[in-house]
Structure 1
Amino acid sequence: MRTAIVNSSTVKQFIEDEEAFECCIGRSFAMLDVDGDGALSREELRQGFGTVLPLGSVSEPRKEVVDALFEKIFQRFDSDGNGEIDPEEFRSLSKEMMLAMARGIGDSPVQLAVHRDSLLMRAVEHELGKI
């Protein structure tokens, strides 16, 4: 984890730079697509989120909440209904999550602990001109 100072414009400018955003989304998708089949299963997505959030050791009531979250993600973003998230669906999911973070952060600078491989960290690096 690293700390960074961000505001909503940090995230929005990153998303608006389509080339940088697409490159980072592609790398993130490839990291999550463990079996290399070009689609993310529920388990691959769960494992990917588990690197950032401690999902692997959740208690049973919390496991139900996490399972419900993944069900909602697939209902919302698996647009073709095949039970997997393809690269375009992942891009849509990532963009919506990033915009939600931007709304939550707002315009005031906020210091956050950011995972070094996260899209939020990529937004910070983009703002600093590192990507």
Structure 2
Amino acid sequence: MSVVIIDGSTVRDFVEDTDAFNKSVDEQFFALDVNGDGILSRAEMRTAFESMRLIETHFGMDVKTVPEELTKLYDSIFERFDRDSSGSVDMGEFRSEMKLIMLAVADGLGTSPIQIALEKDSLLQKAADLESSKLTET
């Protein structure tokens, strides 16, 4: 974990750098593709969602969530990624949805810099690293 200062332009610049963005998103895709078949199944994505504990915690405190609500949430997220309704998520669908998510994060951050602690291999950390590498080149 590291602490960085970012704003929306940091994230937007990362997304617009197609090579860097695709490389980072592809790494995440392959990490989630446990069986290595080149697609993400509903079960693989659910495992990823569960490991993130998206709604099972609230400010670091465990929150009891009805299992049916979790299933409904995870299914709706999966369906968002599965744009062609094939029952699996391919690399293109994953890239497209991650791009939309990251652009929404950029919009949410706006132009005011914030200080944030980031996980080592997170996309936001990679965005900050890309910005940092551009600054050291000049």
TM-score (norm 2): 0.81
Deviation at 1:58, TM superposition (A): 6.2
Q: Tell me what 1:100 maps to.
A: 104
CA distance in 2 between counterparts of 1:16 and 1:2 reads 23
Structure 1 equivalent of residue 14 of structure 2: 14
What is the rounded CA distance, in whole Å, between the counterparts of 2:55 and 2:108 in structure 1? 22
Q: Which moved more, 1:13-22 or 1:47-56?
A: 47-56
Number of equivalences? 129
Q: Would you say the 8 A contact 1:52–1:115 is kept in 2?
A: no
- Once the two structures are superposed, residues 58-92 of structure 1 have per-residue CA deviations (whole angstroms, 9 ceiling, x without a partner) of 6332x444323322222222122121111001001
Q: TM-score, normalised by structure 1?
A: 0.85
Runs of 4+ more than 4 Å apart: 54-58
Percent identity of equivalent pairs: 43
Shift in alpha-carbon separation, 1:93–1:9, aligned structure 2, 3 A:
same
SS in 1 for 2:5: strand
RMSD: 2.2
SS at match of 2:40: coil
How far is the alpha carbon of 1:107 from its aligned partner? 0.7
Conservation of the 8 A alpha-carbon contact between 2:40 and 2:89: yes
Q: Which position in structure 2 is the counterpart of 1:40? A: 40
Alignment-derived partner of residue 27 in structure 1: 27
State the structure with more CA Rg: 2
Counterpart CA distance in 2 for 1:70 and 1:59 is 16
